Amino acid sequence: MSVLHSLGASPRKRLGQNFLHDRNIASWIVEKLEIGPGQHVVEIGPGLGALTEEIIRWGLSITLLEKDRAFAKYLREKFERPNVEVIEGDALEYDTRVEFLRRPAKVIGNLPYYLSSALLFHFTADPCPFEHMVFTVQKEMASRLSATPKCKEYGSLSVIIQRQWQVTRLKTLPPSVFLPQPQVDSVVVSLKRRMPGAFEEADAGEFAALVKAGFSERRKQVRNLLSRFGDPEQIEIALLAAAVAFTARAEDISIEQWIRILNVLQPPVIYGSNPGELLSVVDQNDEPLEPLARATIHRENLLHRAVHILLVNRRGELLLQKRSHRKDRFPRRWDSSAAGHVDAHESYRECAMRELLEELGVTATLAKIGKIPASEATGREFIEIFAGIHDGPFHWNQHEIETGGFFNLKMVDHWIATRPQDFAPGFVECYREVRVPLGDLIVRAREESG
Ligand code: SAM
């Protein structure tokens, strides 16, 4: 508190300012983030630096997000080092996408309680660059985050967060470890990102909408709350498929069952992907030869055709997709907005339109902006590159795509330069080839938005 005095400040309730004064606990919390060399840490609401002091010992780079102007200034002076960045502002406005360049990045914070759930949703939103977070939250929030079916705290927050994150309650902290003391106990929780495949895939937006509808009136049977997702008969079929009783309430339904219900009510559309499919085979001049099966083409290293599609939005950002862990080539790498092999008897342009629909569930006006000759770097593919403008929303083909997001070109340039291993090599080849016309398209897209 003496620091507060010297700053001429007093704790602001409106900003949820309760300061941890027990160094042992601060050090224990930081230890739970399991940080190691070369990592980057983002701290939400560092206040007077109780946790920061402990993180700094690890010699890592840190970003501090603090809304209180006086504290931001104090932190800047106190931790003046090249690897410490202090951002004065609302952590809800922090663009988490920049952290893809600094992976593995982790998040920590004794959260301001008035904003905990909004902060949780912001920092876990897809595309999410973080794998591990440690937060101190109000006890009641910790109970909701970690609740299991049939508990009274089990609600939409528990289900939506736990689908992608493993939540563990680590320790209860009494009010006395903070100044001023909050009214209630606090709990330190850890959130670790689940590996892809832990649960059946589901469309994140639709999943959240379904679960929120199911929990909208806790005392009602869930079958009466899901009318937006199907007629009564379809809902009964979905409940049966998920082994959920017709009389069940939302609190009785596990995460696996929620996913099953969604995927029966709204079956994911799975296109193509037939291993015997015939693809266009070409000669050195890209002239078509006899079509052959994809497996034969790859086994015999034959020249063939592919398209890459790059979509930009009216904010001037490029859509990238993250390939599914199920892909045989370059799983979990970032790639063009959509891409694929040209089928037998299909033109490059027809293929581009088909891939856009199959992978992203959308159509768009596409312009050809480049072509790359076949080489070892392209996987023996002649590639035509198409581009278009689209703001989404997209319906990711869940069998092909883990997630996706828009990124500005400066960030993509920097990302490719610093972490080329994050990308499918075909995308990097295409991006380099069309970086200039893509920049022009972005200027046009921005103009369209006025
Ligand atoms: N980390 C410090 C500690 O443990 O002693 C302070 C924790 S205090 C519970 C919450 C901190 O979050 C305060 O410093 C407050 O100013 C800051 N804060 C409140 N709202 C914020 C926001 N929207 N964005 C960033 N920081 C915020």
Give me the pLDDT at residue 273, please: 53
CA distances from 221 to 13, 42, 347 (A): 40, 42, 52
Give me the pLDDT at residue 152, please: 93
Give me the pLDDT at residue 1, please: 64
Instruction: Give the position, in ligand 1's atom list, of the atom nearest the Cα of 20.
Output: 5
Q: Going by C-beta distance under 8 Å and a sequence separation of 6 or more, which residues neighbour residue 9?
A: 68, 70, 71
State the DSSP H helix or E strand holding residue 44, giving kind and residue range, or none if neither: strand 40-44
Q: Going by C-beta distance under 8 Å and a sequence separation of 6 or more, which residues neighbour residue 358?
A: 271, 272, 338, 340, 397
* Residue with CA closest to ligand 1 atom 4: 20
HSE-up (13 A, CA, CB side) for residue 42: 26
The Å distance, Cα 116 to ligand 1 centre, comes to 10
Give me the pLDDT at residue 104, please: 86
Residue with tokens 């660059």: 129
Give me the pLDDT at residue 417, please: 96
* Residue with CA closest to ligand 1 atom 19: 15
Q: How confident is the model at residue 14 (pLDDT cuts 50, 70, 90)?
A: confident
Give me the pLDDT at residue 8, please: 73
Summarised one tens digit per residue, pLDDT across range 15-74 is 888 999 999 999 999 999 999 888 999 999 999 999 999 999 988 999 999 999 999 999
Q: How confident is the model at residue 328 (pLDDT cuts 50, 70, 90)?
A: confident
The Å distance, Cα 103 to ligand 1 centre, comes to 24
The Å distance, Cα 130 to ligand 1 centre, comes to 20
Q: How confident is the model at residue 315 (pLDDT cuts 50, 70, 90)?
A: very high
The Å distance, Cα 254 to ligand 1 centre, comes to 34
- Report whether pLDDT(5) > 70: yes
The domains located in the chain, with CATH, are: 2-193 (3.40.50.150), 204-265 (1.10.8.100), 278-449 (3.90.79.10)
Mean pLDDT of all residues in 150-159: 96
* Residue with CA closest to ligand 1 atom 17: 45
Summarised one tens digit per residue, pLDDT across range 265-297 is 998 765 555 556 789 899 999 999 999 998 888
The Å distance, Cα 112 to ligand 1 centre, comes to 5
Give me the pLDDT at residue 275, please: 57
Give me the pLDDT at residue 201, please: 87
What angle is formed at CA 321 by the lines to CA 372 and CA 294, rounded to 5 degrees? Answer: 55
The whole-angstrom separation of Cα 55 and Cα 312 is 38
The whole-angstrom separation of Cα 119 and Cα 141 is 12
Residue to substitute in 1, 3, 15, 178 for testing ligand 1 pocket (most ligand atoms within 8 angstroms of CB): 15
Q: Which of 173, 139, 141 lies closest to 155 in space, CA to CA?
A: 141
The Å distance, Cα 12 to ligand 1 centre, comes to 10
Ligand 1, residues at Cβ distance < 6 Å: 15-20, 44-48, 50-51, 65-68, 71, 90-92, 110, 112, 115
The Å distance, Cα 15 to ligand 1 centre, comes to 7
Mean pLDDT of all residues in 202-216: 93
Q: Show contacts of 146-155: CB within 8 Å, 24+ apart.
A: 146/189, 149/251, 149/252, 149/253, 149/254, 150/251, 150/252, 151/251, 152/251, 154/251, 155/215, 155/218, 155/250, 155/251
Give me the pLDDT at residue 345, please: 86
Give me the pLDDT at residue 281, please: 93
The Å distance, Cα 203 to ligand 1 centre, comes to 33
Mean of all residue pLDDT scores within the chain: 93
Mean pLDDT of all residues in 81-97: 96
Summarised one tens digit per residue, pLDDT across range 376-433 is 888 899 999 999 999 999 988 888 899 999 999 999 999 999 999 999 999 999 999 9
Instruction: Give the position, in ligand 1's atom list, of the atom nearest the Cα of 17.
Output: 8
Give me the pLDDT at residue 137, please: 98
- Report whether pLDDT(214) > 90: yes
Summarised one tens digit per residue, pLDDT across range 241-259 is 999 999 999 999 999 999 9
Query: Residue 53 is encoded by which pair of tokens?
Result: 């002091």
* Residue with CA closest to ligand 1 atom 5: 19
- Report whether pLDDT(199) > 60: yes
Backbone angles phi, psi at 66, to 5 degrees: -130, 130
Summarised one tens digit per residue, pLDDT across range 108-144 is 999 999 999 999 999 999 899 999 999 999 999 999 9
Q: What percent of the chain has pLDDT over 70?
A: 98
- In 112-229, at which residue ranges do the beta strands (DSSP E only) sit? 130-138, 165-173, 178-179, 186-193
